[in-house]
């Protein structure tokens, strides 16, 4: 999708096994429109399917990650009847969140500036969130009369617990990156001037990690909501798949021979 100034709203590139998606409406703090969500889903599908891609990165252009839904698209003065937000969620937002969580590839969100509403939902659908110390996460749905969307309720409850998640959503709070890190909402907050460097280091580490190990860990973490027997079954299956791969034998051999492994 292109805007009037010719800019493409969602950029995608692949280099050295890393698939990069950039939300690219910096003049609107990368606020989301319906067409932009469709483009984001297409980009995610492409990177999910591309065999050469080992890691997926989602970032925002300019001074923000994503300010959430572009409310100018929902101006009630321009609508003849209320929007069907349930359908919009099912058709546009849920496919993106589902794909980010279910792809076997590790997904990293690099958060600079604000990640608000659905923008926070997209960031927290990722496996690892790295943020600049100047970043913040806003959960302001209630302030405009809404509940919660983009999978964010579950993401918050899973990361910080139900009590804190409920309060953040009901109060419409905004927390900074340091608070988010201390609460367990994100992996790490780093100084603004090293965010890019630290992101590249993280991507390199993940791309060098055996695929089956990453896939198994992601599957096991996705099963954490199950009861103990369900989780243990998922964990055992994932470990069995990884153990049958040649990378496991190479990892053990490299450890015994005191050398660096050469994973396939």
Question: Tens of pLDDT along 93-102?
Answer: 999 999 999 9
pLDDT band at 192 (very low <50, low <70, confident <90, very high): very high
Residue 1 domain flag: no
Residue 43 and residue 10 in contact, taking contact as beta carbons nearer than 8 Å: yes
257's CB contacts (< 8 A; 6+ apart) are: none
Shared domain for 131 and 237, answered yes or no, is no
Shared domain for 133 and 252, answered yes or no, is no
Total domains in the fold of the chain = 2
Burial 184-223 (b: 16+ CB within 10 A, else e): ebbbebbeeeebeeebeebbeebbebbbbbbbbbbbbbeb
- What is the pLDDT, as a whole number, of residue 1? 45
Read off the pTM.
0.90
Residue 263 domain flag: no
- What is the pLDDT, as a whole number, of residue 138? 97
The residue assigned the tokens 């937002």 is 93
- What is the pLDDT, as a whole number, of residue 117? 95
Residue 4 domain flag: no
pLDDT band at 255 (very low <50, low <70, confident <90, very high): confident
Residue 3 domain flag: no
Q: Is 118 exposed, middle or buried (0-12, 13-18, 19+ CB in 10 A)?
A: buried
Shared domain for 250 and 140, answered yes or no, is no
| Phi, psi of 20, rounded to the nearest 5 degrees | -115, 130
Shared domain for 168 and 95, answered yes or no, is yes
- What is the pLDDT, as a whole number, of residue 2? 43
Shared domain for 249 and 146, answered yes or no, is no
Q: Is the pLDDT of residue 197 over 70?
A: yes
Q: Is the pLDDT of residue 6 over 70?
A: no
Shared domain for 117 and 99, answered yes or no, is yes
* Average pLDDT, integer, range 52-67: 97
Paired strand residues for 32: 69
Residue 261 domain flag: no
* Average pLDDT, integer, range 179-198: 97
* Average pLDDT, integer, range 136-160: 92
Residue 60: which domain range?
A: 10-208
- What is the pLDDT, as a whole number, of residue 5? 44
- What is the pLDDT, as a whole number, of residue 234? 84
Q: Is the pLDDT of residue 187 over 60?
A: yes
């Amino acid at each position: 999708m292109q805007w009037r100034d010719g800019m493409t709203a969602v950029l995608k590139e692949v280099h050295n096994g890393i698939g990069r998606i950039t939300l690219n409406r910096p003049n609107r703090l990368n606020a989301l429109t319906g067409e932009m969500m469709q483009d984001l889903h297409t980009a995610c599908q492409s990177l999910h399917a591309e065999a050469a891609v080992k890691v997926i990165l989602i970032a925002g252009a300019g001074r923000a990650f994503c300010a959430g839904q572009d409310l100018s698209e929902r101006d009630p003065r321009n609508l003849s009847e209320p929007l069907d937000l349930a359908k919009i969620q099912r058709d546009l937002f849920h496919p993106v969140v589902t794909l980010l969580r279910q792809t076997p590839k590790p997904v990293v969100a690099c958060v600079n500036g604000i990640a608000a509403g659905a923008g926070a939902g997209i960031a927290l659908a990722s496996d690892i969130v790295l943020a600049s110390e100047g970043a913040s996460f806003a959960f302001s749905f209630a302030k405009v009369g809404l509940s919660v969307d983009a999978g964010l309720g579950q993401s918050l409850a899973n990361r910080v617990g139900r009590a804190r998640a409920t309060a953040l959503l009901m109060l419409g709070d905004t927390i900074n990156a340091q608070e988010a890190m201390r609460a367990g909402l994100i992996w790490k907050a780093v100084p603004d001037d090293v965010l890019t460097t630290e992101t590249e280091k993280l991507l390199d580490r993940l791309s060098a990690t055996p695929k089956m190990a990453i896939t198994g860990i992601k599957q096991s973490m996705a099963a954490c909501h199950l009861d103990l027997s369900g989780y243990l079954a998922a964990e055992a299956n994932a470990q069995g798949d990884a153990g049958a791969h040649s990378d496991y034998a190479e990892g053990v051999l490299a450890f015994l021979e005191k050398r660096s492994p050469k994973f396939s």
